Amino acid sequence: MNPHVIVIGGGTAGMEAAGRLARAGMSVTLIEKGKDLGGHLRDWYHLFPDRRSSDEVLEYLKGQISHQNIRLLTGQQVTGFIHKGNEFTVSTGNGDTINGDALLLATGFDLFKSERKEEYGYGIYENVITSADLEAMFRKKEVKLVSGKKPERIGFLHCVGSRDEKVGNIYCSKLCCVTAVKQAIEVKKIFPASKVFCFYMDMRMGGALYEELYKEAQEKYSVGFIRGKVSEVAVNINNRLVAKVEDTLVGRPLKMELDMLVLMAGMEMSEDAVRLAKETNLQMGENRFFKPADHHFGTNMGNVNGVFYAGACTAPLNITETISHARSAVTEIVNYLNTGRK
């Protein structure tokens, strides 16, 4: 009977890993707390850097998990697991338990709750939205202000909830810069007459074709970039948002009215994963992501033998990196199972 792997988390990493494991001859149980698979991918509209539709990647992943060796358990919340000998017993919300020879955690991430940065008025002032809200608007093909009018000036605020001591996330969430530039281009395409600004501390456009996207945003869509972290947002008498920032390259404060402000919320370890980690003493790094056994050759393993990690539960990763990380997890698991599970 071929070994049985339990994959927790049905997002990009989980689906890719499950598909690969099944094809490697393993029997797989994929447990997803949501009612359907895809994780955050379902919320995105277009993906950087080439702005292809996210549905295409979702189709690919769906193709991966349509395999007889895979058993899907959706709508089930994992409450914990017991590790005795080489066996794992995973218990879920409605009480039933699943045994497996190896455990793959692909619990992904949560977006930082932007309301925690009160000074930006998310949830308090109209038209202050997060990048996820904007993606949802793109998907619904209905980007507009609460008043229904067309926005003339849109601001993107980088580093919301990341690189920020006050909210306990000093790490950089790596993908918000490129997401902001991508969204800036998409918004400008929808409202050609609008003017789009990005308020940044550093433009971290390190991935493949990111800098080209940045240049395209400047060249074709004349997106403006202002170096300075917005300190607070208010609303003026004609109900327009007023952002206060220091234009650090000029060394003077700047006040600007905006119709719409998009907060680029950073990635955090998902709360459920944190709870699970605490209960099953899986070590977490200072940034609350799973602590890899080794930063170079052991990012898929942690401190518990037989428990593997894949995707954004170890660090902020983009879709490409998540998929490759899932594939490396599968090789680690197959290797672990074939060599006597040490």
**Residues lying near another protein in the complex (CB under 8 A):** 115, 118-119, 121, 123-126, 203, 215, 218-219, 222, 224-225, 227, 232, 234-237, 242, 247, 249-250, 252-257
| Helix-then-strand count for the chain, H and E | 7, 20
Residue 234 CB, nearest approach to another protein (Å): 4
- Residue carrying structure tokens 């539709």: 53
- The upper half-sphere exposure of residue 218, i.e. CA atoms within 13 Å in the direction of its Cβ, equals 8
Q: Determine the 3-state secondary structure of 250 from DSSP.
A: coil
**CB closer to another protein out of 227 and 327:** 227
- Would you give the DSSP letter of residue 122? B
- Is residue 98 within 8 Å of residue 90, measured between CB atoms? yes
DSSP output for 129-171: EEHHHHHHHHHTT----TTSPPPSEEEEEEEESSSBGGGTB-S
**CB closer to another protein out of 115 and 164:** 115
Residue 247 CB, nearest approach to another protein (Å): 6
Residue 220 CB, nearest approach to another protein (Å): 9
**CB closer to another protein out of 103 and 261:** 261
User: Backbone phi, then psi, for 69, in 5-degree steps?
Assistant: -80, -5
**CB closer to another protein out of 41 and 260:** 260
- Residue carrying structure tokens 């879920």: 92
Residue 153 CB, nearest approach to another protein (Å): 9
Q: Rounded to whole angstroms, how far apart are CA atoms 283 and 291?
A: 6
**CB closer to another protein out of 30 and 226:** 226
Residue 172 CB, nearest approach to another protein (Å): 19
**Closest to 333 measured CA to CA, from 21, 16, 14:** 21
**CB closer to another protein out of 225 and 290:** 225
Number of Cβ within a 10 Å radius of residue 193: 7
**CB closer to another protein out of 96 and 232:** 232
Number of residues written out for the chain: 342
Residue 128 CB, nearest approach to another protein (Å): 11
DSSP output for 59-122: HHHHHHH-STTEEEEET--EEEEEEETTEEEEEETTS-EEEESEEEE---EEE--GGGSGGGTB
**Closest to 210 measured CA to CA, from 188, 243, 177:** 177
Residue 256 CB, nearest approach to another protein (Å): 4
